Structure 1
Amino acid sequence: MSSDLWSFALNVYARPGVENACLQLQTAGANVCLLLCGLWLEHRGVACDEQRVRQLQALTEPWDRDVVQPLRAVRLQWKAAASKDALLQGMREQIKSLELEAERALLSRLEGMAQGWARNASGSVTWLEGLAGAAASPNRDALQVLRVAATGT
């Protein structure tokens, strides 16, 4: 397994079923970058507690709201029109690249925050459930898909 969060996230996301599980969880309100970070932390055996969950959420929320979400909104808004306009399709692809770069930057920031956290300790909640929040309960199957995918990295 690669030790950096970006490589780990790419490896997990490429596994069967993960993209659909992530989209399901995202639709339910979870942040996919946070979930991938949670998988990485679980995989590394890092202790989870409510304070750490809140720290990761506090880092994620403004970046997601101010950077990732606006890019995603424009990309989705242009989807139908771009299918009929090659120039707009090219611009949409550029927006998609910016969105991906914004997610990569977020993952880098999350990794920086969590890099020094102790490994092989037990916590009070698991990372995925803690970071998925309200999206966890109705989407346990999607969370399990992510966990299974992470075991193969």
Structure 2
Amino acid sequence: MPNTDLWSFALACYARPGVEDACLELQAGGADVCLLLCAAWLQARGIGCNAPRRQRLTRLAMPWQRQVVQPLRQLRQAWRPCADEDATLQPLREKLKALELEAERALLVKLQEASQAWPPGPESAQWLAQLRPAGDCRAALEILRHAAQQTQLALLGD
């Protein structure tokens, strides 16, 4: 199976119908969307899921989300009302958004580097279920799972 990089997979998956809304719902429920996109990538590639692997990815993602991505997102969101009233703030807010996206890309690179040598194995279908947030998010996870499968199939065809 071709080894499509996680960033390309994430962009292609996120662009599929319903995925953006599903990811925003999951994020609102406390999920790390980058970690879930990595889980979807691993699941679509048949990589075995186990506790040490999940813990490694979580330990890698949590500090980056907390210290880098979330502060950028919070500032960008806090500026939204002001940017609606002050046109000079809007370009700065867009730069923040681009920086937030670049921080997410850096996290996806870190997650890929941590997992790229993992072989296919049993329990590969458990990635999303094991890394899901608390609460009822089954519908959003199913949208992400289905989109990940379709993305992987499309990338295999390229």
Q: Indicate the TM-score class for this superposition, using the shorter chain for normalisation.
A: over 0.9
TM-score normalised by L of structure 1: 0.94
Counterpart residue type for residue 146 of structure 1: L
Structure 1 residues 143, 4: closer, same or farther in 2, change over 3 A? same
Structure 1: distance between partners of 2:77 and 2:20: 17
> In the TM superposition, what is the alpha-carbon distance from 1:2 to its structure 2 partner?
6.5
> In the TM superposition, what is the alpha-carbon distance from 1:35 to its structure 2 partner?
0.4
Aligned to 2:41: 40
Q: Spell out the pairing of 1:66-105 with structure 2 (5 A cutoff).
A: 66-105=67-106
1:111 and 2:108 equivalent?
no
Q: Spell out the pairing of 1:117-128 with structure 2 (5 A cutoff).
A: 117-119=118-120, 121-123=121-123, 126-128=126-128
How many residues were matched structurally?
Answer: 150
- In structure 2, list runs of 5 or more residues that go unmatched: 152-158
State whether residues 49 and 125 of structure 1, in contact with CA within 8 Å, keep that contact through their aligned partners in structure 2. no
> In the TM superposition, what is the alpha-carbon distance from 1:101 to its structure 2 partner?
0.1
Structure 1: distance between partners of 2:63 and 2:16: 29
State whether residues 14 and 20 of structure 2, in contact with CA within 8 Å, keep that contact through their aligned partners in structure 1. yes
> In the TM superposition, what is the alpha-carbon distance from 1:133 to its structure 2 partner?
3.8
Aligned to 1:134: 134
Structure 1: distance between partners of 2:41 and 2:47: 9
Structure 1 residues 19, 124: closer, same or farther in 2, change over 3 A? closer
> In the TM superposition, what is the alpha-carbon distance from 1:140 to its structure 2 partner?
0.4
State whether residues 50 and 123 of structure 2, in contact with CA within 8 Å, keep that contact through their aligned partners in structure 1. yes
State whether residues 68 and 103 of structure 2, in contact with CA within 8 Å, keep that contact through their aligned partners in structure 1. yes
Aligned to 2:132, the other structure's residue is in SS state helix
Give structure 1 regions of 4+ aligned residues with deviation exceeding 3 angstroms: none
Aligned to 1:150: 148
Aligned to 2:156: none
Percent of aligned positions that are identical: 53
Aligned to 1:86, the other structure's residue is in SS state coil
Structure 1 residues 13, 60: closer, same or farther in 2, change over 3 A? same
> In the TM superposition, what is the alpha-carbon distance from 1:4 to its structure 2 partner?
0.2
RMSD: 1.4
Structure 2: distance between partners of 1:63 and 1:127: 20
Structure 2: distance between partners of 1:122 and 1:49: 9
State whether residues 2 and 8 of structure 1, in contact with CA within 8 Å, keep that contact through their aligned partners in structure 2. no
1:24 and 2:25 equivalent?
yes
Counterpart residue type for residue 145 of structure 2: R
Deviations 1:35-73 (A, max 9, x none): 000000001100001111111000000000000000001
Structure 2: distance between partners of 1:147 and 1:21: 11
